[in-house]
Structures are given as structure tokens and as C-alpha cells.
Amino acid sequence: MNRIKVVNDIITEQVQTDAIEIECIPKCEFFRVSRIIIKIRKSCSLELSYNTTEETKLDVTILVDKGVHVNIFEKRTGEKTKVQYNYMLDTDARVEVTKFYMAHQIRELSQIHLNGEKAFIDYHLKTIASEKQKYDVVVYHHAKNTISNVYHHGVNVGSESFIFNVTGVIPKGNTGCILNQQSRILTNTLNVCKICPNLLIDENDVEANHAAHIGTFTAEELFYIMSRGISKKESLILLTEGFLLGGLPITESQHDVLKKEVEKVWR
């Protein structure tokens, strides 16, 4: 397992094999943005942990070589964060990204570039929003027969503004591409929640789908759990755990860590 821990944009712990290369570029006085470049040369797993105790700005680039398969698990906690990701996938690269956030104010832009034929990405973002959060994801299908699946699931527990913007781009001539977007926000507040799905497609020979939903657990879902003798509070915890953790490509130990984080919100 390759593991990187970042605190306030500085790598404080680093465990790596020869499958990856890491380069850190400290922030300069003019731009005030730190950069981390991760080059993935061989198939592997990578675990990223971010924590911020102060306002930070970070640029992360992840380069995946031809034919490499990688599972990236990321956990983020802390205060105000501005971060930009650039994922660059070469031919036949296969990437599974799982992000779980329990940070406060977040402004995040993720740009995914499928640069070679048969490049594939599964991108899962799960977040619990207690303060203002905005996420922009743009997927560029630069080659034929590329596949992107983008899943955004968020629970609003008090954020005044909670926004998902998801955009998929397929230019003319890039046939055989598959693009899927699924976004859902659960909220019990009257604060601003928005999902903006965008499909910018200039080619007929593709498959593209998107789904967006903002709401809460239905009375039927809650009644079904409570009819088993479970309290309303415990029922909400179980439903939230299923919503945020169900079907993720993560290990049992990672699942247990995230389960404890979800339970903190209700307890």
C-alpha cells in the first residue's frame, strides 16, 4: 500500500513503493499555491489523507501510465480548503477514485483527462457538508472508447450553500465513449443545494447518461427501518451509512474508518 499524509499542504508522512513517484513544489510568494505531482508507473493502491487546520490552496496532479490500474482512496478533514486536481490517464489506464470528505468550507475543481484509448475512470465523491461547499468536476474524453463514471453523493447537515457541478466533454470523432453522471444530495434544510449536470457532446456514436436528485429519505424508507424496532436516530444513521458507503470499492478497514466518521455526525 502506498500512503501519503498531507497536513496544511505539506507532506508529513510518505510510504511508497517503486510503483509511484512523488514530487512536491512548495508555494511561492506570488501564487501561494502548493503543488503535489504523483506519477503512477505500475498497478497499485494509493491512500491519501488530507487535514487542514488553516486556510490552504493546493494543486494535485496525478499521472497514470499506459495500462496501469490503480485504486485511490482519499480522506479529507479540516478547515477552509481550495484544491485543484488534474488526473491524466494514458491508454488503457484504469483508475478507481474514492473520496470521503468531512471538511468544513471546500472549493474544489477536478479535471479528468482521458488521453488514450480505453482509458477508464470510476470517480466517487462522498461528502458531509456542515459549511459552504462547491465541487466542479470536468471529464474530457480526448480519445475513442474511453469511459467515465462520476458519482457524487452528499449529505447537507447545515451548509448554507452546497453545489455539485459535473461536466462531461466528448468532441466530434471520439466514437465509442461512455459517459455516466449520478449526483444526489440529501438535505433536511432550506439552504441552497444545487446540482448542475452538463453533457457537452459533439459526437453521435457515444453513450451518455446523467441523473440528479435533491431531497431527503422518504417516509417509507424511515418507516421500514423503524418497523424493525430501531429508533429514529439509529435508523437515520443506518440510512446515511448505506447512502454514503454502499458499493464503494474500498477495503473492509477503510469502510470501518468511514463508518465511524458518519456516526460522529449524528452522535
Q: At what angle do helices 252-266 and 232-245 cross, to 10 degrees?
A: 140
Q: Cα separation of 257 and 240, whole Å?
A: 15
pTM: 0.92
On whether the CB atoms of residues 62 and 87 are closer than 8 A, the answer is yes
Q: Cα separation of 202 and 174, whole Å?
A: 9
For the chain, the domains span 2-216, 219-267
Nearest to 108 by CA among 160, 58, 148, 55: 58
Q: With the C-alpha atoms ordered 247, 253, 255, 256, is the resulting torsion angle positive or negative? A: positive
Full pLDDT tens readout for the chain, 267 residues: 899 999 988 899 999 999 999 999 887 666 678 999 999 999 999 999 999 988 888 999 999 999 999 999 999 988 888 999 999 999 999 999 999 998 888 999 999 999 999 999 999 999 988 889 999 999 999 999 999 999 999 988 878 899 999 999 999 999 999 999 999 998 877 788 999 999 999 999 999 999 999 988 888 888 888 988 888 888 888 888 888 887 777 888 888 878 877 777 666
